[in-house]
Structure 1
Amino acid sequence: MQQLTLDVALREGASFDSFHPGDQPLGPEAVQALARGDGETQIYLYGEAGCGKTHLLEAACHLVAADGGRIAYLPAGLVARSGPEALEGWQTLDLMALDDMDLFPRDAELERALFDLLNRLREAGVRLLLASRAAPRALPLSLPDLRSRLLWGPVIHLQELDDEHKPEVLAARARRRGFELPREVCEYLLRHYRRDLPSLMQVVDRLDEASLASKRRITVPFVRRLLD
């Protein structure tokens, strides 16, 4: 299949079980229902970086693939580098995920190719997930009919988790890597480090590696020395 020729790999840890919905469970529930085939056939997710858009797209792809389904995950940057031909020949899929729609270049040929793709996917019954930092109406599109296709399904605004829930996500990340992250370490990271979840989870991974290398427990003084 064509997706085998594209340099895209899904993260193994992206699942619905590892996604923390915070106070907005409807978004992930809708995406999971789509992936199971008993919900909407198209969903558009949007929100700032770190709110979990890509995680949900990848989780849906993993779920469909685990059941033997055919999937494709395409970030807009890859489409821009590959040209309109990257959007051809996907009608035999069970699920397609298009990420980073806000990075889709304003190019008439690419927009027409995307417009045609969305029409073909709908006619073939392919489930479709789209994600972007911007809502469909805020995208700088030059093809008006393309915007209407992006609105064929529900548009869901995802919010980044608040600080109350972030320690739970970091602790869960640590448990998946095989260690316990003390609550006081989570709170220290929130006070003294970048607060967006992607950055925080990278720190958790660094702490795990540094702890194993030094054979030291992860404590606040250990974290302070490492980050300094």
Structure 2
Amino acid sequence: MQVPTQLPLSVRLRADAQFDNFIAGPNAVLLDSLVQLSDAQSDETILYLYGASGCGRSHLLQACCHRVELRGLTAIYLPASELLDLDPAVFESLEIYDLICIDDIDQLMGQPLWEEALFHLYNRIRDLSKRLVISANAAPKSVGAELPDLGSRLLWGLVFQLHELDDSAKLDALSASAQARGLTVSDEVLQFMLNHGSRNLKVLMEQLDQLDQASLTAKRKLTIPFIKQVLGWS
């Protein structure tokens, strides 16, 4: 196996971003397709997923990378927000990886050099039968690509919308994430977080991170009074 060249960007994967703790809800077909693509069990090598912030796009892309790396292969996760200060040439030779995951490509749209670099990457991925997973906040035709040829490439492969979970599934997702951290959290506490905080799952997960750290530091259990204190809720 050829070892990929080190990029001027290092993004650590979240340890808890795994397929087995992702609550699929209405996204079961998407989840199955990502697992098959990661395991090289799918005829399709490219997948584009889109959805609102907080739906779990970043979780799924990182889960793909984890699964590929567990098989002894190479994967790279690149959030567009951390690419913008770099030269688009960072996309060159990415096909040396077995799987490339690029998050939030909507942030690259309207920037000619980045659009061209992504266009050429799509072509190389298809020619070499490597695997590519892309995420964005909108469908391919609505994401804002100004390069017509890129617009057509974004439609290659599989395209899925990542649907938001209902409140019950969000509670399941919070519970699964807490368990992955080794946290003991009652259903009452999780329901309190959902009722009094944001219903955006990304924000809820960030709050759980904050509470995890505060609990470790203070050596206290996650109770409703403690959560109010840490998060500044009345």
TM over 0.5: yes
The reply to whether residue 165 of structure 1 matches residue 169 of structure 2 is yes
Displacement of 1:167 after TM fit? 1.5
TM-score (norm 1): 0.92
The corresponding residue for 1:19 is 22
- Is the Cα contact below 8 Å between 1:92 and 1:124 reproduced in 2? no
Cα shift at 1:105: 4.1
TM-score, normalised relative to structure 2: 0.90
User: How far did residue 63 of structure 1 move?
Assistant: 0.8
Change in Cα spacing, 1:139 to 1:213, as seen in structure 2 (3 Å) is closer
Aligned length: 228
Deviation of 1:49 (Å): 0.7
1:142 aligns with 2:185: no
**Is the 8 Å Cα contact of residues 55 and 202 (structure 2) preserved in structure 1?**
no
Q: CA separation in 2, counterparts of 1:165 and 1:202?
A: 17
Aligned equivalent of 1:95: 99
Q: Percent identity?
A: 42
The partner residue of 1:217 within 214, 217, 221 is: 221
Runs (5+) with no aligned partner, structure 2: none
Q: Could you give the per-residue CA deviations for residues 59-103 of structure 1, whole angstroms, max 9, x where no partner exists?
A: 111111111112222222333321221111123221111111110
The whole-number CA distance in structure 2 between the counterparts of 1:139 and 1:206 is 32
Show the counterpart of 2:89: 85
Q: 1:203 aligns with which of 203, 207, 217?
A: 207
Checking the alignment, whether the CA contact within 8 Å between 1:34 and 1:41 is kept in structure 2 is yes
CA distance in 2, matches of 1:179, 1:70: 31
Q: Which residue of 2 aligns with 1:118?
A: 122
Please say if 1:178 is aligned against 2:182: yes
Distance 1:206 1:112, change over 3 A: closer
Deviation at 1:183, TM superposition (A): 0.9
CA contact (8 A) 1:36 1:64 kept: yes
**1:49 and 1:34 mapped to 2: Cα distance?**
23
On the 8 A contact 1:41/1:127 being kept in 2, the answer is yes
Moved over 4 A (4+): none
Which residue number corresponds to residue 36 of structure 2? Answer: 33
Deviations along 1:28-69, one digit per CA (max 9) or x if unpaired, are: 111111000011211100000111111111111111111111
Q: Provide the C-alpha distance between the structure 1 equivalents of 2:117 and 2:127, rounded to a whole number of angstroms.
A: 15
Q: Is 2:104 the counterpart of 1:104?
A: no
Which 5+ residue runs of structure 1 have no aligned equivalent?
none
d(CA) in 1 for partners of 2:70 and 2:198? 35
**Secondary structure at 1:2 match in 2:** coil
